[in-house]
Amino acid sequence: MIEWISILEILAVTMAASATILMLVIIVQFARRMMPSIPPKKVVLIEQTKEKEKPKMSKEAKEGVTFNDLFMFMIAVPLVLLWVGFAGFVIHSGLGKPEVLENIEAYTTLIAILGGPALLIIKDALDVWKQEQAEKTAFYKIKAQSVIDYNESTQKQAQMIEAKAQEQEHKMEIKK
Residue 4: predicted pLDDT:
59
Q: How far apart are CA 85 and CA 77, in angstroms?
A: 12
Residues of the chain with pLDDT under 70: 1-5, 30, 34-63, 68, 71-72, 76-77
Q: How far apart are CA 161 and CA 173, in angstroms?
A: 18
The tens digit of pLDDT for each residue in 125-163 reads 788 889 999 999 999 999 999 999 999 999 999 999 999
Residue 13: predicted pLDDT:
77
Is 11 within 8 Å of 82 (Cβ atoms)? yes
Query: Domain boundaries in the chain?
Result: 4-34+65-175
